[in-house]
Structure 1
Amino acid sequence: MRKKYYFAVSLLVLLALGAVLSGCSSKEATGATTGDQVILVGTQNDYPPFAFADENNELTGYDIEVVKAIDEKLDGYKFEFVAVPWDSMFLALESNKIQAIADQVAKTPERQEKYLFTDESYFAAQTVIAVKTGRKDIQTIEDLEGKKVGALAGDSYTLLLEEYNKKAAQPIDLKYSESGNPSEILQDVQNGRLDAYVNDPIMINAVLEKNNLDVEVVGQPLVNDDMGIVLRTEEKGEELKALIDPILKELKQDGTLAELSKKWTGGEYIPE
């Protein structure tokens, strides 16, 4: 039933997104006057400090600024951002509502079979467990067995837990968020409706600080992931990949990515 629910939500969101993007022809026309082809880049608007809407409702964050840095060096193309809910992100890409994703997407083998990723990664992320402050019985993924854990359908953190459940003595009780909002999941952890949440520590700490939540990260990182830009598996996607990879490499070498990482996350989390 849940899969059917998310599919229905995704269709509704895409219909709405299609209406919003019905003005895309005017965007493309704008790009055409400058000789640039418009590429719509999907990202979330509630995933700080990587991609979120600021006080002026403008998309900003680390992932946004990385794409803007690429855009400055890439001739012939113009990147424009589209806020898309996570549970509709890949469906939007597959249906060509967007042509790229920059949203902390981990390069998992399953995703790389279906989608085109840049060879160059632009962020090195960790996966950690967050619990209500002071809780001592959860430190490892094994400790999550039988516990209620918040989840977002289709993200790499949830996929990790779903894969673990295939061999767990007692499955983790995954509670899929209907809002798709990590802030609400962490509030449920604080309020005791959930036992834990698994996600990136930088995002978690940003949300905790902003909302003053009584939640903390515990234990050691479960895994480390490299994040890449996702493109459509088609000729144009291949063309973009061939253009973007050398630019990402240059942004690593000249220190731009490290500077942006320090600005938004407080540290240099750049893959080698």
Structure 2
Amino acid sequence: MKRQPLFLSLFLLTGAVALSGCSSDETTAANGDEVIIVGTQNDYPPFAFANDNNELTGYDVDVVKAIDEKLDGYTFEFTAVPWDSMFLSLESNKIQAVADQIAKTPEREEKYLFTDESYFAAETVIAVKEGREDIQTIEDLEGKKVGALAGDSYTLLLEEYNETADTPIELTYSESGTPAEVLQDVQNERVDAYVNDPIMMNKVLEKNELGVEIVGQSLVNDQMGIVLKHGEKGEELKALIDPILKQLKQDGTLAELSRKWTGGEYIPE
């Protein structure tokens, strides 16, 4: 086990990703470890966000820190990456891993390498303006304006639904790329609803005192995994990370972190 703590580097980015540009093969930590740069968002509480000291923190960050403590020969550094640049950064090797509540989907697993072990089980729900009663199910969203972030699993769910819907959902893609902005659009009635994770949305609603509420039952449950790039390095990291994630699940570490950040245990079996 490493004795050196995880070093967190936070680059708050706007627009294009301004990372160091160095691959893990070119970067070595002070203790001689190979550096793996992990991309995550800085505005997705309680999973990945910047605290008052501009340090990245949250459940996903703590999970990777726990992995780092048990993984010899590597040091994980974090950098904040906007959602719309996340996978491009991975493909171009500006980052070597993603820990950002990325749901495993067949389409993504064709393009990217996921850990076999999932570290969080997430729900998908609908949020509407408080007092609204005409939306409870995904069918109720037909013909309505729904806020969306391009490329996330919640948007993909709605895009797939539209392929067979009698009346398609009108997806309104956010230019800001942040859930907080979309939830503000719901409150201000620029859109009728938003579909995302209830834990994150409740944190954002509480912080911003928005008049938005979650309605209906969960639409789907997703398994979240750490994402790597296909290739020799990705396979090497996956083979090292999977046993550690399994151990963290079995010894209760993931459950403890889940309770710390979400108030409940949302750990896949």
TM-score (norm 2): 0.92
Query: How far off its partner does 1:256 sit?
Result: 0.4
Q: Distance in 2 between matches of 1:209 and 1:42?
A: 26
Query: 1:153 and 2:150 equivalent?
Result: yes
Q: Distance in 2 between matches of 1:37 and 1:90?
A: 22
SS of residue paired to 1:128: strand
Query: How far off its partner does 1:34 sit?
Result: 1.6
Q: How does 1:85-104 map to 2 (within 5 A)?
A: 85-104=82-101
Given candidates 51, 54, 74, the residue that maps to 1:54 is 51
> Which AA in structure 1 matches 2:259?
K
Q: Matched residue pairs, number?
A: 257
Query: How far off its partner does 1:28 sit?
Result: 5.5
Q: Distance in 2 between matches of 1:29 and 1:84?
A: 19
Q: Distance in 2 between matches of 1:226 and 1:105?
A: 8
SS of residue paired to 2:66: helix
Query: 1:139 and 2:136 equivalent?
Result: yes
Query: 1:242 and 2:245 equivalent?
Result: no
Match of residue 13 from structure 1 = 16
Query: How far off its partner does 1:119 sit?
Result: 0.2
> Which AA in structure 1 matches 2:135?
I
Match of residue 167 from structure 1 = 164
Match of residue 4 from structure 2 = none
Paired residues of 2:24 and 2:34 also in contact (CA < 8 A): no
Paired residues of 2:28 and 2:34 also in contact (CA < 8 A): no
> Which AA in structure 1 matches 2:120?
F
> Which AA in structure 2 matches 1:92?
S
> Which AA in structure 1 matches 2:117?
E
> Which AA in structure 2 matches 1:13?
A
Q: Distance in 1 between matches of 2:24 and 2:266?
A: 38
Query: CA offsets, 1:162-187, max 9 Å, x none?
Result: 00001111110100011101001001
Match of residue 9 from structure 1 = none
Q: How does 1:1-272 map to 2 (within 5 A)?
A: 13-14=16-17, 17=18, 20-22=19-21, 24=22, 30-31=28-29, 33-272=30-269
Paired residues of 2:89 and 2:95 also in contact (CA < 8 A): yes
Runs of 5+ unmatched residues, structure 1: 1-11
> Which AA in structure 1 matches 2:153?
S
Query: How far off its partner does 1:35 sit?
Result: 2.1
Q: Structure 1 or 2: larger helix share? A: 1
Q: Distance in 2 between matches of 1:90 and 1:198?
A: 21
Please give the root-mean-square deviation of Cα atoms over the aligned residues, in Å: 1.8
Query: CA offsets, 1:103-149, max 9 Å, x none?
Result: 00000011011100000000000000000011000000000011010
Q: Distance in 1 between matches of 2:231 and 2:55?
A: 30
Query: How far off its partner does 1:222 sit?
Result: 0.3
Q: Distance in 2 between matches of 1:271 and 1:130?
A: 24
Runs of 5+ unmatched residues, structure 2: 1-14
After TM superposition, where is structure 1 displaced by more than 4 Å over at least 4 residues in a row?
24-30
Identity %: 80
Q: Distance in 1 between matches of 2:150 and 2:39?
A: 17
